Structure 1
Amino acid sequence: MLKLFPSSPLLFSCFFLGTLIAISSSHWFFLWFGLELNLFSFIPILLSSSYSFEASIKYFLIQLFSSLMLISSVLSILIPSFKISNFIMMILFSLSLMTKLSIAPCHFWFPSVLSSISWTTCLLLMTWQKLIPLLIMILISPFYPLFIIFFLASVSSMVGGLGGMNQSQLRNLLAYSSISHMGWTLSIISILPMMSFMYFFCYSIILFPLIYTLLSFNFINNKQLFSLFSFNKPFYFLICISFLSLSGLPPLLGFFPKWMILMYLSKCNFFLMSFFLILGSLFTLFFYLSMIFPSMSLMKMPSISLNFKASSFLFWLFLFSLGILPVLTIF
């Protein structure tokens, strides 16, 4: 849980203000300023978790080096006397954004940091903290060679799928799942940037109620998740369906943006990258099913009553995030 201090309102105000400055900026300097304001406001939020001091230092150092690479490449554009070769500038810029977005092969810091922080900061790190780097990636994607973006997207999808197969901690599991989803986000960014943003938005919608539930029950590993089956079956089923939605199982919400991305990629004849993206999603589906099926094998089918007075908000939030409510409104 987060510890609130007298300075917490100021920190959260600067945290969100930095993102708004970066999104609304029309110059590289203000974009970088919003990014750094967001970063330095997020460090005390990480420190508010009683067990995340080491993770805060690790996150700060990694983001510091990535910001140095970013500002060095930008200065080579803005200041003629600070001139470096275009090849080195492109490498520094790419490594910086890949590190901030936890895209493979610059993803190694992400699971270790995510495993040592609270669920609230996990949610912020997997969603809000990636908005500004994703915006920068969308802005520069027309100038990047397609084969580089496609290679990074395929590697991220495979690394996320394979890395999560032997994980028993839920935070590490969601960390590798986030790496896989960033591969899907990156795959369409050069062809249809708004589709990339829509995919990330759908991922955030699915993730929010899931993290909220894991925070409410204070779950850490799979065994604790299994214990929920014995005393609160409805929420256990909703958590399982939410995990399956993250893996892209139809007809849940997580399936439809992946389906649309594959349709656009097939129209552009990018069949090889589509194959690696689907293969990475199958690995992700496998480790989610391997987490769910041990308790499903013990399942009986009694009548289940849900206490709507205590949990109606979370229940309807789950329905919305899983795509059940939009389907009901259609029919």
Structure 2
Amino acid sequence: MNPYVLVILLSSLGLGTTLTFASSHWLLAWMGLEINTLAITPLMAQQHHPRAVEATTKYFLTQATAAAMILFASTTNAWMTGEWNINDLSHPIASTMVIIALALKIGLAPVHFWLPEVLQGLDLLTGLILSTWQKLAPFALIIQVAPTIDPILLTSLGLLSTLAGGWGGLNQTQLRKILAYSSIAHMGWMIIILQFAPQLTLLALGTYILMTSTAFLSLKLSSATKISTLSAMWSKNPTLASTTALALLSLGGLPPLTGFMPKWLMLQELTTQELPLTATIMALAALLSLYFYLRLCYAMTLTISPSTINTTVPWRTQNTQSTLTLALSTTMALGLLPITPAILSLVT
């Protein structure tokens, strides 16, 4: 892609997200979301491959549906209450439609079916943008409208998402689909705690972005897109294989890695709010996700290519990709647990 066009598209991505962050009017927030969608569409289709075009079409139709629902809900709220302000979403029909539309935007269950298929058709860097940056603007709106949403609806969305993300990833062999189901499960954790402690939602979103960035950049460096190609990683680059395995375990929420911090604090908060059954279901759903992370770690570190898995060993050419971003994100994705009190004091 032409570098000037790339700069314009990335700038538009930043503009759309910033516009949604700064808006207090529903029409302005809707415009920011639309700019975001239109800016990432050419990035998704840049490979000119049928899978990429199919993924781009699915993504565009899904996001257009969600945007239309948001516009309809905000218009309904303005018709009923006379207010376009985001914080004045008082009509129950409008608030329910908005949360369903935003759930469709970020891929929450039960409207998550588009996310694995879309992510599978993209290259890893575009998939990274879709899994991290594209969730910021809808999340800003969700946090603002959360006080007006029925708590039972939020809890149902969170539980469904963690269970769907765990069950859906069990039988997958494509790494991008596994990371998509991982995203669905993590979104469920963030939504369920939002009504009790919004600062924990922000903390979980930040750690999720760090861990997912590490996973995507590691897979990009090793040119791996399915489980069978992971077995060659250890012989090619043992250090990368070790850090990638630890990053995946951090995504699963194992101590003493960074991913344990938000899950620990969220389960503690749910117990404090006298919701032990919900906390138990969430913890058991996390075990489902942990299983497919362990599958990836097993393929990377405990198998020797090509003895145990039928795969073509790639050439061991010198990799010229920059690894500074990967090094920084890996360090933070693995080692932030000891400074949990300092991080909590920043977000609260």
TM-score (norm 2): 0.85
Q: 1:74 to 1:298 in 2, by over 3 A?
A: closer
* TM alignment of 1:204-219, pairs within 5 A: 204-219=209-224
Partner of 1:302: none
The answer as to 2:149 corresponding to 1:178 is no
Contact between 2:73 and 2:95, CA under 8 Å: does it hold in 1? yes
The answer as to 2:327 corresponding to 1:319 is no
- Work out which of the residue numbers 147, 150, 160 in structure 1 matches 2:152: 147
Q: How many residues align?
A: 317
Q: 1:86 to 1:64 in 2, by over 3 A?
A: same
Partner of 1:47: 45
Between the aligned partners of 1:320 and 1:61, the Cα distance in structure 2 is: 36
For the aligned residues, what is the CA RMSD?
A: 2.5
Contact between 2:55 and 2:122, CA under 8 Å: does it hold in 1? yes
Between the aligned partners of 1:15 and 1:298, the Cα distance in structure 2 is: 40
Partner of 2:24: 26
TM-score (norm 1): 0.89
Partner of 1:191: 196
Give how far 1:207 is off. Answer: 1.5
> What code does the residue aligned with 2:333 have?
S
The answer as to 2:56 corresponding to 1:56 is yes
The answer as to 2:256 corresponding to 1:258 is no
Kindly, what percent of the aligned residue pairs are identical?
Answer: 32
> What code does the residue aligned with 1:321 have?
A
> What code does the residue aligned with 2:247 have?
S
* Partner SS, residue 194 of structure 2: coil
Q: 1:110 to 1:60 in 2, by over 3 A?
A: same
Q: Deviations over 1:274-297 (max 9, x none)?
A: 112111110011111123225544
The answer as to 2:280 corresponding to 1:249 is no
* TM alignment of 1:27-106, pairs within 5 A: 27-51=25-49, 52-79=52-79, 86=91, 88-106=93-111
Give how far 1:88 is off. Answer: 4.0
> What code does the residue aligned with 1:25 have?
S
Partner of 1:273: 278
Between the aligned partners of 1:121 and 1:310, the Cα distance in structure 2 is: 16
Q: 1:163 to 1:139 in 2, by over 3 A?
A: same
- Work out which of the residue numbers 5, 12, 28 in structure 2 matches 1:14: 12
Partner of 1:123: 128
- Work out which of the residue numbers 286, 291, 300 in structure 1 matches 2:291: 286
Give how far 1:188 is off. Answer: 1.0
Larger displacement relative to structure 2 (74-83 or 46-55)? 74-83
Gaps of 5+ in 1: 300-306
Between the aligned partners of 1:179 and 1:30, the Cα distance in structure 2 is: 27
Contact between 2:231 and 2:303, CA under 8 Å: does it hold in 1? no
> What code does the residue aligned with 1:22 have?
T
Between the aligned partners of 1:110 and 1:220, the Cα distance in structure 2 is: 16
Between the aligned partners of 2:168 and 2:26, the Cα distance in structure 1 is: 35
Between the aligned partners of 1:186 and 1:75, the Cα distance in structure 2 is: 25
Give how far 1:190 is off. Answer: 0.9
Contact between 1:75 and 1:82, CA under 8 Å: does it hold in 2? no
Give how far 1:269 is off. Answer: 0.7
Between the aligned partners of 2:323 and 2:94, the Cα distance in structure 1 is: 52
Between the aligned partners of 2:321 and 2:20, the Cα distance in structure 1 is: 39
Gaps of 5+ in 2: 84-89, 305-317, 343-348
Contact between 1:319 and 1:325, CA under 8 Å: does it hold in 2? no
Partner of 2:141: 136
Between the aligned partners of 2:169 and 2:32, the Cα distance in structure 1 is: 33
> What code does the residue aligned with 1:43 have?
T
